[in-house]
Amino acid sequence: MTRTTLRGLTLALLIGASAPALTANAALAQAPTAAPSARPWLDAKLDADKRADLAVAAMTNDEKFTVIFGYFGADMKPKYTRHPDSLDASAGYVAGVPRLGIPGQWQTDAGVGVATQGARQDLRARTALPAGIATAATWNPELAQQGGAMIGKEARDSGFNVQLAGGVNLVREPRNGRNFEYGGEDPWLAGVMVAAQIRGIQSNKIISTIKHYALNAQETGRFVVSSNIGETAARTSDLLAFQFAIEQSDPHSVMCAYNRVNGTYACENDWLLNTVLKKDWGYKGYVMSDWGADHSSAKAANAGLDQESAGDAFDKQPFFAAPLKADLAAGRVSQARIDDMARRVLRALFASGAVDHPVPTPTSHDLPAATLAAHAKITQADAEEAIVLLKNDGDLLPLAKTAKTIAVIGAHADVGVLSGGGSSQVYPAGGRAVKGLEPATWPGPVIYYPSSPLKALQARYPNAKVVYDDGTDPARAAKLAAESELALVFADQWTTESVDAETLNLPKNQDATIDAVASANKKTVVVLITGGPVVMPWLDKVGAVVEAWYPGTAGGEAIARVLTGEVDASGRLPVTFPKSVADLPRPKLDGVGKAEGELFDVNYDIEGAAVGYKWYDLKKIEPLFPFGHGLSYGKFAYSGLTANAAGDKVTVSFDVKNVGARAGKDVPQVYVSPKAGGWEAPKRLAGFKKVSLAPGATQRVTLTVDPRLLATWDETARGWSIAAGQYDIALGSSSRSLVATAPVTLTSAKLPVSPNAR
Ligand code: BGC
């Protein structure tokens, strides 16, 4: 494993840390009571900007420094001790200003639910959504929003008002250990899906982040790597994903990343923070550093960092405490900038609703069973729509109802489903399904959620023999498969924050098990539980393959429902599955073998903005499974494609008809290409729509294309530029299955960098 550590100490030391403290929020979370006239910033009728101005004007400098400095929230003795007012085993805490009615900030990870950190890992049982990449695979923003609303509610009910969610880094490197936290490889898909989740979280009157800003595309050397890329390529790829997501969800905070960008740390990168984010995009929220990502006081503050996270624990010094005060006294940072930093944090607290609707002080670490039961339905719906049916020869799936013997093999499918590791780890109700796995400490533990695919299948086949083998001995698994009508092989790959996968092959000899089982029984179905793409040397031998990702705390039930056809298979790939690492822009992962702390660069100009499918299109490389791919049990036909241009606005319409015999869901996708070329790649995803149709039903879909997806970045004009000419609008069921094309003619146009530019 290629490993970098942050919480690098062994967490084994941590067992038995201090008793839970449930009263943390009590002092500061009381609803503001003083009359608005005495504290006019508490008047909810005023807008957030006005309220922040008024509050900052009333603050002492010490109070301003209070709201821009964060503490760690977990005991990791002997190295770290949590702030006493933090919530136990949480990501962090920022003190409030009770005198002014400003609450503290209680921070929790992350994108799949309320995570728990440090020694007291199992103290908070919560609902976990499927991985971020899985939610992106639903191509269903309504589901993403519903999931966000659910985990945001669990955060609020748990006493947190800042959720460190919203991972939108593009998948540039399929071996990246954190791909599971993100929204795939396309700026529009990732932007739309992550925005929907953030809107859901913030609907609970709490703050969500969006992260990790920016170009944080691998874990190997994450604290030192420089992501090197030209401006045009960055603006049309990773930054565009952030831009879309920020515009569509208004996250109140942006978390800057660990890595450097073009040689400068992301959290002290004036171009990224001041120029692009705050000036060009007109961002009004605050920038918080990732845990250990701040490297300076005045330099970072002047570059646009507004709040230092866990500055007592992970950074070399508590930069935004005494060092920044000294900088202020010496004139290295201005009073106006300190005011702006505090103001941005306060604005977020007002705009989110966190001041007017203080989070409750939790009286128990547990959530009511009824809440968890209701939330299980939400995560299950997400998992069901996330599952991608990659291959289905001879309609092997849905599983025959008449089957009398079914072999279920591998991946602990008898007891549970795997989840992704690191700070985003949510601990499930019901405890861990598999005990004693390594690594037991950071970046572990490795956790299987107690939602058993085997049991869910057995419940659906009461009169059949549904038998489990653990898959560790390929010959034994093959014997069971040979004796069974159907063989289901579950194969998984644990990926985690701080470590990249070494290869795209499944670990632990699972390829051999699948191969042996498929040799013994043609009716072999492979169920993949992975954080991203894997290669499939056995693909030609198996009948069907589904990608279930990390499916969350109701994953076993969701998998069974898709395999048996109770629900349609309606996920689509948000990421290309390559045939081999040899096809990647960087077949060798940069930084492997470097000494810890040694600086190195990754050249992202190799692919530039041609990320994912764009690279494969540009280089004419056939992928294993293309972006957008996924089969349904239903059958859909597209017709009546029209595309119209009015100025820079392109509108696309078409009919989708369910021509099969069963109800189902489909995801028609629209791609756009300039006839004259000149883009980073032949085509871009320009729109999509998830439709749900009864047999025989037709839906007319109309989409408008964001004009930036028709444009290129103009470095001189510092804006977007649409070239006059003909463009093809193509409709299909994946990036490589386009069934109809309509031309549009565009006139040349110049667009500002953002509608909110300052
Ligand atoms: C991760 C962030 C996370 C933070 C707080 C860091 O290691 O990169 O994504 O929000 O820790 O736990």
Ligand 1 atom showing the smallest separation from residue 310 Cα: 5
Q: What does the pLDDT read at residue 118?
A: 80
What's the pLDDT tens digit per position in 705-753?
Answer: 999 999 999 999 999 999 999 999 999 999 999 999 999 999 999 999 9
Q: Answer yes or no: are the C-beta atoms of 480 and 407 closer than 8 Å.
A: yes
Q: What does the pLDDT read at residue 33?
A: 52
Q: How far is the CA of 106 from the centre of ligand 1 (A)?
A: 14
Q: What does the pLDDT read at residue 16?
A: 28
Quote the CA–CA distance of 493 and 1 in Å, as a whole number. Answer: 13
Ligand 1 atom showing the smallest separation from residue 164 Cα: 10
Task: Supply 674's token pair.
Answer: 């300039």
Residue 739 has phi, psi (to 5 degrees) of -110, -15
Residue 61 has phi, psi (to 5 degrees) of -65, -35
Q: What does the pLDDT read at residue 36?
A: 61
Q: How far is the CA of 185 from the centre of ligand 1 (A)?
A: 21
DSSP of 557-620? HHHHHHHTTSS------SS-B-S-GGGSS-SSPTTTTPPTT--EEEETTTTTT--THHHHHHTT
Report the alpha-carbon angle 47-53-55, nearest 5: 100
**Which residues, judged by CB distance below 6 Å to any ligand atom, belong to the binding site of ligand 1?**
6, 91, 109-110, 164, 211, 290-291, 423
What's the pLDDT tens digit per position in 387-406?
Answer: 999 999 999 999 999 999 99
Write the residue with the smallest CA distance to atom 3 of ligand 1: 423
Q: How far is the CA of 528 from the centre of ligand 1 (A)?
A: 27
Catalytic machinery residues: 290
Q: How far is the CA of 159 from the centre of ligand 1 (A)?
A: 19
**Amino acid, single-letter form, for residue 442:** W
Write the residue with the smallest CA distance to atom 11 of ligand 1: 291
Write the residue with the smallest CA distance to atom 8 of ligand 1: 290
Q: What does the pLDDT read at residue 77?
A: 85
Q: What does the pLDDT read at residue 559?
A: 99
Please name which of 234, 530, 574, 243 lies closest in space to residue 410, comparing C-alpha atoms. 530
Task: Supply 365's token pair.
Answer: 């670490």
Task: Supply 648's token pair.
Answer: 């820079």
CA 532, 537, 539, 542 dihedral sign is negative
Q: How far is CA 62 from CA 56, 98, 328, in A?
A: 11, 13, 12
Ligand 1, from 169, 291, 308, 442: best to mutate by most atoms within 8 Å of Cβ? 291
Ligand 1 atom showing the smallest separation from residue 181 Cα: 9
Ligand 1, from 164, 180, 207: best to mutate by most atoms within 8 Å of Cβ? 164
Measured in residues, the chain has a length of 758
Q: What does the pLDDT read at residue 5?
A: 45
Ligand 1 atom showing the smallest separation from residue 209 Cα: 10
Q: What does the pLDDT read at residue 29?
A: 43
**Long-range interactions of 597-600: CB distance < 8 A, separation 24+:** 597/223, 597/224, 598/221, 598/224, 599/224, 599/225, 599/226, 599/260, 600/221, 600/224, 600/225, 600/226
Ligand 1 atom showing the smallest separation from residue 257 Cα: 8
Ligand 1, from 254, 290, 312, 499: best to mutate by most atoms within 8 Å of Cβ? 290
Write the residue with the smallest CA distance to atom 2 of ligand 1: 290
The sheet carrying 600-603 orders its strands as 264-265, 260-261, 225-228, 600-603
Q: Which residues of the chain have pLDDT under 70?
A: 1-36
Q: What does the pLDDT read at residue 187?
A: 98
Q: What does the pLDDT read at residue 120?
A: 78
Write the residue with the smallest CA distance to atom 4 of ligand 1: 291
Ligand 1 atom showing the smallest separation from residue 422 Cα: 7
Report how many helices (DSSP H) and strands (DSSP E) the chain contains, helices first: 17, 33
Q: What does the pLDDT read at residue 758?
A: 84
Q: How far is the CA of 109 from the centre of ligand 1 (A)?
A: 7
Ligand 1, from 109, 168, 181, 258: best to mutate by most atoms within 8 Å of Cβ? 109
Q: How far is CA 479 from CA 87, 422, 476, 692, in A?
A: 52, 37, 5, 41
Write the residue with the smallest CA distance to atom 6 of ligand 1: 291
Q: How far is the CA of 178 from the centre of ligand 1 (A)?
A: 11
Q: How far is CA 330 from CA 62, 65, 298, 317, 334, in A?
A: 16, 16, 10, 18, 9
DSSP of 106-147? EEE--TTS----GGGGGG-B---PPPHHHHHHHT-HHHHHHH
**Cα of 153 vs its chain's centroid, Å:** 18
